[in-house]
Amino acid sequence: MYQVLLVDDEPVILRNISKVIDWEKFGFSICATAECGEEACRLLKEYRPNLVITDVMMPQMNGIELAEFIGENYPKTEVIIISGYDEFDFARSAMRAGVMEYIMKPTKKEELEQALQKVYERIQRKADLERNIRELREEAEKNIPILKNQFFSELADKIIPEGQNLMESLKYYGSELKGDPFRLWCFDLDREEICDTIPEMRELLWVQLRMIIRENTKGLFVSDSFVKGKHLLYVVEDSDTLPEGKSMEELLEIILSEFKNLTRTSLSVGVSCVYEDYHKLYMARKDCEAALEERCNLGEGSCIFYDEVRVFSNESVEYDHELMNQICMKLRALNKKSAVKLIEKIYVEMRENKAIYQQFYSQTILILTELFNISPDEERKKKIREVIAALNDYKTGDMLRDLVLEITEETVDEAAADSAGKNREIMGQIVHYVDEHLGEEISLADVADAVHLSKNYLCSIFKREQGETFFSYLTKVRMDRAKQLLRRTEHKVYVIAEMVGYTDYPYFSQVFKKHTGITAGEYREIYAGE
């Protein structure tokens, strides 16, 4: 049973409330009563009730002040306020104090029972949530694999201090590493589309990959694996003892092939140089990432050793990733002028910096791939595929740059024209949906489903086309409809609130006043009949 404290300066009312309700039926029992707020504060400390039911107007400390005291000192205690004063200021003050239930005098038994039921359910939900959190914490403490994954992830980010005894940490997490020279394998999906539609798919694919690796290596030299971002990484001993006398490259190619046959998903792997010190795991990760960049030249399903792609020095050479990200963003936004300017810039940088000239074709492929994705025309897509397939036929950088710029301008112009027509159609569908469902609860998810778009994309095009957010538009439409009904009908204000989609009347009143500067009642008095 949950404990209830009753507070009212009129003893008769206290007795009536105590007797009229079957408290046990609703899961409560009365632990104490108080005739003023100060007495209630003392009893709160003694009994720590789950619920306080209090009158508003009391000497010394009123019900709102008591509710504020409870909110500050006993945040888990629920409060129901009973008052004969129906001014909105009281209700608003109660809401600010965290009061969820506000009942007017004369108190009806049914209303109080309904409030008790709501409070009981709320307390139960809180208790369930606290229990779930506690169980999750206990489970996390037991879940060493998760902590182990975090440890390796931090080690790969060079977060672990140099002075830390890594071998002791590895032993604690159950690692099989013994301090021998190691390499790092970094597996990455060649295509992300499958994970975009099914969020859990990446995790399931990694489970399959781990099974394939375990079967093909038989635990001879493969040690620990961990997930970092979108990658699955393995720390492996640099051993000559490989299954059936295979080289590491042969073994990895078998793993990639079996994974593709089993999952119908292409996978590439970057392999680091050999390192002696596990503190250098972050360097091994950088090796793998640099190796995987060569996938643009080598194609999907590649096994790439950093030793073989390192050309100019022992350190990886990096191009301007941020510049490429900006190009992709401008293309997706169909900003032709900015995209062309940035594309020209990246080709100038590659031409001037011979150290990154090796990335020339890979950068071109990235740009063309982005153009392929935004193009609405199948013939255009076909042309882009043909260009990618024949990149080696363009012998100079200038020739290839000019071709890319030409394709960029044509593709963005086509996509912009197509997008404008589609966006106008979508906006019409959104406006129609809002008009048809104005009296209902309208969520962004509902509208997105109705027009077959993602929520994020809907918000983006709505702001771009309408010049305001979807929810500001929805509020404006609802307020306009409410003003129309106030002028032309005799409906009660709370009925009009429901007719325009507000089930919470106080909140409707708050929004209406903020929107118009006056209350709904004042608006009706001024504009009725217009």
The CATH number assigned to the domain holding 120 equals 3.40.50.2300
Separation of alpha carbons 206 and 143, rounded Å: 19
Estimate to the nearest angstrom the gap between the alpha carbon of 316 and the chain centroid: 33
What is the distance in angstroms between the CA of the first residue and the CA of the last residue of the chain?
Answer: 57
Tokens encoding 350: 């590659």
Do residue 461 and residue 375 come from a single domain? no
Do residue 399 and residue 514 come from a single domain? no
User: From residue 26, how far is each of 8, 53, 172 by CA, in Å?
Assistant: 21, 14, 50
Do residue 496 and residue 383 come from a single domain? no
Tokens encoding 140: 């996390």
pLDDT of residue 85: 61
Do residue 173 and residue 249 come from a single domain? yes
Separation of alpha carbons 124 and 132, rounded Å: 12
3-class DSSP assignment, residue 80? strand
Domain tally for the chain?
A: 4
> Could you tell me the CATH number of the domain that includes residue 283?
3.30.70.270
What single-letter amino acid sits at 390? A
Tokens encoding 418: 């197509």
Do residue 102 and residue 176 come from a single domain? no
- pLDDT (tens digit, 0 to 9) for every residue of the chain, 530 residues total? 899 999 998 888 888 888 888 999 999 999 999 999 899 999 999 999 999 999 888 888 888 889 889 888 998 899 998 877 655 566 667 666 667 777 877 778 888 889 899 999 988 988 888 888 888 767 756 667 777 777 888 888 876 665 567 777 777 776 767 777 889 999 998 877 677 667 688 888 999 999 999 888 876 777 788 888 889 999 988 776 677 778 888 999 999 999 999 988 889 999 999 988 888 888 999 999 888 877 755 667 889 898 877 554 444 445 567 788 888 888 888 888 888 898 888 877 776 664 454 566 777 888 888 888 888 878 888 888 888 887 765 645 666 788 888 888 888 887 876 777 777 888 888 899 999 999 888 988 899 888 887 787 788 778 877 888 999 999 999 999 999 999 989 899 999 999 999 989 999 999 999 999 999 999 988 888 76
What single-letter amino acid sits at 172? Y
What single-letter amino acid sits at 116? L
Is 18 part of any domain? Answer: yes
Q: What pTM, to 2 d.p., does this model score?
A: 0.39
Is 425 part of any domain? Answer: no
Is 40 part of any domain? Answer: yes
Is-contact 266 191, C-beta < 8 A?
Answer: yes
Do residue 206 and residue 256 come from a single domain? yes
- Of 390, 420, 450, which closes a domain? 420
8: phi then psi, degrees, rounded to nearest 5:
-165, 140
pLDDT of residue 403: 85
Is 374 part of any domain? Answer: yes
Do residue 476 and residue 411 come from a single domain? no
Is 393 part of any domain? Answer: yes
Is-contact 445 456, C-beta < 8 A?
Answer: no
- The residue assigned the tokens 């006993």 is 74
Is-contact 58 8, C-beta < 8 A?
Answer: yes
pLDDT of residue 312: 41
pLDDT of residue 53: 92
Do residue 356 and residue 477 come from a single domain? no
3-class DSSP assignment, residue 184? strand
Among residues 46, 2, 68, 45, the alpha carbon closest in space to that of 54 is found at 68
- Of 420, 450, 474, which closes a domain? 420
Is-contact 386 399, C-beta < 8 A?
Answer: no
Is-contact 230 202, C-beta < 8 A?
Answer: yes
Name 32's Cβ contacts closer than 8 Å, sequence gap at least 6.
Answer: 5, 6, 43, 46, 47, 49
User: From residue 198, how far is each of 47, 99, 191, 454 by CA, in Å?
Assistant: 50, 41, 13, 14
Q: Which domain holds residue 266?
A: 145-309
Is 126 part of any domain? Answer: yes
- Of 393, 420, 447, which closes a domain? 420
Is 431 part of any domain? Answer: no
Percent helix / strand / coil, the chain, rounded to 5: 65, 10, 25
Do residue 499 and residue 441 come from a single domain? yes
Please give the helix or strand (H or E) that residue 33 lies within, else none: strand 28-34
Do residue 116 and residue 255 come from a single domain? no
pLDDT of residue 49: 94
Among residues 11, 5, 80, 99, the alpha carbon closest in space to that of 43 is found at 5
The 101-104 sheet, strands edge to edge: 28-34, 2-7, 51-55, 78-83, 101-104
Do residue 359 and residue 396 come from a single domain? yes
> Do you find a cis peptide bond into 59, omega within 30 degrees of 0?
no
Tokens encoding 116: 């008790």
Do residue 28 and residue 128 come from a single domain? yes
Is 62 part of any domain? Answer: yes
- The residue assigned the tokens 């089993």 is 262
